[in-house]
Amino acid sequence: MSRIIMGIESSCDETGVGLVRLAANGTVELLADEVASSVDQHARFGGVVPEVASRAHLEAMVPTVRRAFATAGLSMSAVDAVAVTAGPGLAGALLVGVSAAKAYAAALDVPLYGVNHLAGHIAVDTLQHGPLPEPCLALLVSGGHTQLLRVDDIAGKITEIGSTVDDAAGEAYDKVARLLDLPYPGGPPIDKAAREGDPNAIAFPRGMTGPRDAKFDFSFSGLKTAVARWVEAAQARGEEVPVPDVAASFQEAVADVLTAKAVRAATESGIGTLVISGGVAANSRLSGLAADRCAEAGIELRVPRPRLCTDNGAMIAALGAHVVAAGCAPSPLHLSANPALPVSTVTVS
Ligand code: KG4
Ligand code: ZN
């Protein structure tokens, strides 16, 4: 007997609703993945404005749910369980999704699972590449997170082995884009500009790579400052800023550190599979360099397609399906959102 799981995501600026089918043999199939983004409303502020995001979730939630059912060709009564991002994320934004999920679970009389957004970013890969080998290593890189995670069980045991001590990788892209007068979010325009530039033009620093630094932690704020100083110096000399070279050199520094640490972590712990997910996983240089270095080290690399890497509801539905398949206890209907939910808590019970 197969089961239909609905997933609701609202931790940041994307209202996502996903529907998946969990087959009796444990395979998970994507049926619908509808996303409404409020990114345009935040663009002029150069970052997500929490109150604006919450209001946008409220307006988009029901229409996005309806679109998902229409896409899947299912009626709501087909749903067997509702999964929702319980954290981490913006408090007000999370609350909109959690409240909606409770209402749907209560109305449909099905179990509710409050799940971890970070685990969702990893679980989504199973929709494209099938079951995850366990253990595997996950590199999570987005606007809000930069983490190396050891995954022993996607439904229950995830351990952080490293994270950023300051800015997230995506945040660094967004800040450097602003310095270069490129639009927000900065990842895609920097990726594009970098294609015309020389990645070795400027030797930007590789943060946290000294012998005394934590092996698997990251730092991007020094890199961002180095780019700012370099741009200011060029401007002070009255020179035009070579945007493609700056973008390519910055991107090289980010991709170099991320892939070097991830491959080292996998090799040292004897883990044979690396999954890279989150918005920055869409970066062409990051995935290209990761492919080269993983091949060299004999590690299997899995990167979900860009649409699955950025925030969406399918990732929460996928995680919900794995949690249901594992027989985890549902969350109570008084579930609350936890903006600081630790990655070790996959399901909030
Ligand atoms: O996962 P995501 O959609 O949302 C968060 O949870 O933050 O990630 C958004 C981040 C932004 O910082 C954006 O600049 C970055 O992902 N991003 C990229 C690319 N596409 C999106 N960074 C580098 N290269 C890209 N192609
Ligand atoms: Zn995310």
**pLDDT band (50, 70, 90) for residue 140:** very high
Tell me whether residue 23 is in a domain: yes
Read off the tokens for 102: 């409770």
Q: Is the overall model pTM greater than 0.75, yes or no?
A: yes
Q: Which residue has the higher pLDDT, 49 or 98?
A: 98
Query: In this model, does residue 17 exceed pLDDT 90?
Result: yes
The answer, yes or no, to whether any atom of ligand 1 lies below 6 A from the CB of 286, is no
Tell me whether residue 130 is in a domain: no
Query: In this model, does residue 43 exceed pLDDT 90?
Result: no
Closest CA relative to residue 48, chosen from 113, 94, 98: 94
Same domain assignment for residues 54 and 167: no
Distances in whole angstroms, Cα of residue 179 to Cα of each of 183, 190, 262, 265: 10, 11, 28, 32
pLDDT, tens digit, 9 for 90 and up, residues 267-305: 999 999 999 999 999 999 999 999 999 999 999 999 999
Tell me whether residue 105 is in a domain: yes
The answer, yes or no, to whether any atom of ligand 1 lies below 6 A from the CB of 283, is yes
Same domain assignment for residues 117 and 149: no
**Average pLDDT of the chain to the nearest whole number:** 97
Averaged pLDDT for residues 307-331: 97
How many whole angstroms from 237 Cα to the centroid of ligand 1?
33
Same domain assignment for residues 64 and 144: no
Q: What is the CATH number of the domain that holds 188?
A: 3.30.420.40
pLDDT, tens digit, 9 for 90 and up, residues 335-349: 999 999 999 999 998
The answer, yes or no, to whether any atom of ligand 1 lies below 6 A from the CB of 278, is yes
Same domain assignment for residues 237 and 142: yes
Domain extent at residue 337? 3-124+312-348
Q: What percent of the chain has pLDDT over 90?
A: 96
Q: Which ligand 1 atom sits closest to the C-alpha of 142?
A: 8
How many whole angstroms from 143 Cα to the centroid of ligand 1?
5
- Cβ-proximal residues to 254 (8 Å cutoff; 6+ apart), any chain: 169, 172, 173, 220, 223, 280, 283, 286
Q: Which amino acid is located at 32 in the chain?
A: A
The answer, yes or no, to whether any atom of ligand 1 lies below 6 A from the CB of 185, is yes
Tell me whether residue 131 is in a domain: no
Confidence (pLDDT) at 47: 84
Tell me whether residue 324 is in a domain: yes
Same domain assignment for residues 299 and 321: no
Query: In this model, does residue 45 exceed pLDDT 90?
Result: no
Query: In this model, does residue 306 exceed pLDDT 90?
Result: yes
DSSP 12: S
Same domain assignment for residues 155 and 220: yes
Burial of 40 (0-12, 13-18, 19+ CB in 10 A): exposed
Query: In this model, does residue 97 exceed pLDDT 90?
Result: yes
DSSP 43: G
Burial 60-69 (b: 16+ CB within 10 A, else e): bbeebbebbb
Helix (H) or strand (E) holding 337: none
The helix-helix angle for 169-179 and 243-269 (nearest 10°) equals: 170
Same domain assignment for residues 201 and 279: yes
Tell me whether residue 187 is in a domain: yes
Distances in whole angstroms, Cα of residue 244 to Cα of each of 197, 236, 241, 250, 300: 4, 19, 9, 10, 31
Q: How many domains does the chain have?
A: 2
How many whole angstroms from 253 Cα to the centroid of ligand 1?
16
Tell me whether residue 129 is in a domain: no
